[in-house]
């Protein structure tokens, strides 16, 4: 398939079709090879779970635009090469998500392994030239494929990293106690002293610093999200979900004010820039997400502008008393 024809097919694939639900088990079986590669990245190579998820999305997107069996070829390589190809994928993603990078400012020799893998001169200028199509295609794959097919492996990787951090800290304290037994003071249990690890950030998915400006009015860079009644969604769930997927995109988050025994049905997410809204909504008017099994709908916030005050009626004519003789 020609690359241009592949790009056209990707654009056509963005058109909504009839909804058909596939059970998780069948969905994961269909994406079994993608799950294997993701496991290699996060479990065997110990790479960041969110960055690796976006690498999988990039490789799947390349397959959709016409480059065949990218994931299969990757799985057949030694892990050291898979690791280097993941680094090249992050470089490509950095170009895609940086609006200030032009095709002329990028070099063609920055992705030598990827070019050999797909037997093409595909390089960074390609991703800069087709940025808009790539951003929308990647967002669609992340939301509809990767988050669903890889979420259980991601959770395992995050938990393992947290346990490893606890183990490393415990080992450090034991070494300190052996080396300086008199200086070690009684401290609370380890679990009470170690904070819960923060959700990973997608550094390459974050907008460039120059684009994260607050000069735009908050109403013009706000997303309005709604929740289903009967399915309670907490503020931390919303913040963690969007931060894991899109990096440091949230400036502030405002849940609906409700009584303690009531469920909030909507929230406002103020982003750092309007470009973040375009990326999150994937160019659509409305987007649907699933946060911990609960459906959430998002759209651009439309503020209710105050209506202009009606002009005051003219005062009644002032008639001078007749007694003045005028």
Tens digit of pLDDT per residue, the chain (326 long)? 455 455 545 444 444 444 456 788 899 999 999 999 999 999 998 888 888 999 999 999 999 999 999 999 999 999 999 999 999 999 899 888 887 777 666 666 778 899 899 888 788 888 888 888 999 999 999 988 999 999 899 888 888 877 666 666 666 656 666 666 554 444 444 333 333 333 333 333 444 443 444 578 888 899 999 998 888 888 888 988 888 777 788 999 999 998 888 899 999 999 988 888 888 887 788 888 888 778 889 999 988 766 666 666 666 555 545 544 44
Question: At residue 224, what are phi and psi to the nearest 5 degrees?
Answer: -105, 120
Residue 64 to residue 281: CA distance in whole angstroms: 20
In a domain, 173, yes or no: no
Domain interval for residue 244? 218-300
Q: Does residue 171 belong to any structural domain of this protein?
A: no
Angle at CA of residue 298, ends 296 and 299, nearest 5° = 160
Q: Per-residue pLDDT tens for 43-94? A: 998 888 888 999 999 999 999 999 999 999 999 999 999 999 999 999 899 8
pTM, rounded to two decimals: 0.53
Judgement on whether residues 37 and 156 belong to the same structural domain of the protein = yes
The reported pLDDT for the residue numbered 173 is 59
Number of domains in the chain: 2
pLDDT of residue 210: 36
Residue 95 lies in a domain: yes
The reply to whether 137 and 25 lie within a common domain is: yes
Question: Does a structural domain hold residue 193?
Answer: no
CA gap 89, 78 in Å, rounded: 17
Same domain, 33 and 126: yes
Q: What is the DSSP letter of 283?
A: T
Three-state secondary structure call for residue 288:
strand
In a domain? residue 239: yes
Are residues 46 and 126 part of one domain? Answer: yes
Instruction: Report residue 290: phi and psi, to 5°.
Output: -120, 115
Asked whether residue 261 is assigned to any structural domain, the reply reads: yes
32 and 143 both lie in a single domain: yes
Residue 184's φ and ψ, nearest 5 degrees, are -80, 125
Helical residues (DSSP H) of 180-295, grouped into ranges = 190-193, 235-246, 274-281
CATH number at residue 263: 3.30.70.330
25 and 139 co-located in one domain: yes
Query: Which residue's structure tokens are 């105050």?
Result: 306
153 and 36 inside one domain: yes
Residue whose C-alpha is closest to residue 39's, from 68, 73, 67, 79: 79
Q: Do 158 and 273 lie in a common domain?
A: no
Claim to verify: residue 265 and residue 130 sit in the same structural domain: no
Q: Is residue 231 part of a domain?
A: yes
pLDDT of res. 11: 44
Q: What is the DSSP letter of 302?
A: -
In a domain, 213, yes or no: no
Q: 150 vs 197, 199, 260, 261, 297, CA distance in Å?
A: 20, 16, 35, 34, 21
Q: Quote the pLDDT of residue 293.
A: 74
- Distance of alpha carbon 283 from the chain centroid: 14
Q: Let me know whether 142 and 224 are in one domain.
A: no
Domain shared by 159 and 235, yes or no? no
At 297, give phi and psi (nearest 5°): -110, 140
Same domain, 35 and 159: yes
Backbone angles phi, psi at 226, to 5 degrees: -125, 150
């Amino acid at each position: 398939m020609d690359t241009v024809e592949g790009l056209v097919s990707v654009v056509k694939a963005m058109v909504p079709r009839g909804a058909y639900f596939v059970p998780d088990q069948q969905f994961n079986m269909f994406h079994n090879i993608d799950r294997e590669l993701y496991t290699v990245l996060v479990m065997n190579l110990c790479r960041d779970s969110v960055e690796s998820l976006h690498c999988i999305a990039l490789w799947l997107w390349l397959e959709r635009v016409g480059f065949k069996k990218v994931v299969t070829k990757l799985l057949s390589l030694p892990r050291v090469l898979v690791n280097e190809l993941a680094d090249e994928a992050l470089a490509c993603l950095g170009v895609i998500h940086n609006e200030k990078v032009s095709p002329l400012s990028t070099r063609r020799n920055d992705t030598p392994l990827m070019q050999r893998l797909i037997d093409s001169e595909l390089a960074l200028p390609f991703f800069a030239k087709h940025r808009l199509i790539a951003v929308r295609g990647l967002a669609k794959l992340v939301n509809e494929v990767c988050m669903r097919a890889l979420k259980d492996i991601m959770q395992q990787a995050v938990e393992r990293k947290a346990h490893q951090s606890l183990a490393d800290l415990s080992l450090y304290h034991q070494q300190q106690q052996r080396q300086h037994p008199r200086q070690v003071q009684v401290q609370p249990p380890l679990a009470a002293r170690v904070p819960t690890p923060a959700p990973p950030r997608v550094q390459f998915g974050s907008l460039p610093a120059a684009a994260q400006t607050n000069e735009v009015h908050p109403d013009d860079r706000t997303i309005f999200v709604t929740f289903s009644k009967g399915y309670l969604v907490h503020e931390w769930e919303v913040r963690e979900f969007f931060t894991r997927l899109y990096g440091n995109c949230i400036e502030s988050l405002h849940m609906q004010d409700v009584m303690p025994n009531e469920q909030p049905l909507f929230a406002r997410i103020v982003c750092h820039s309007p470009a973040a809204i375009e990326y999150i909504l994937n160019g659509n008017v409305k987007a649907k997400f699933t946060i911990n099994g609960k459906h959430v709908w998002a759209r651009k916030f439309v503020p209710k502008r105050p209506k202009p005050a009606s002009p005051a009626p003219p005062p009644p004519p002032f008639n001078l008393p007749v007694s003045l003789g005028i």
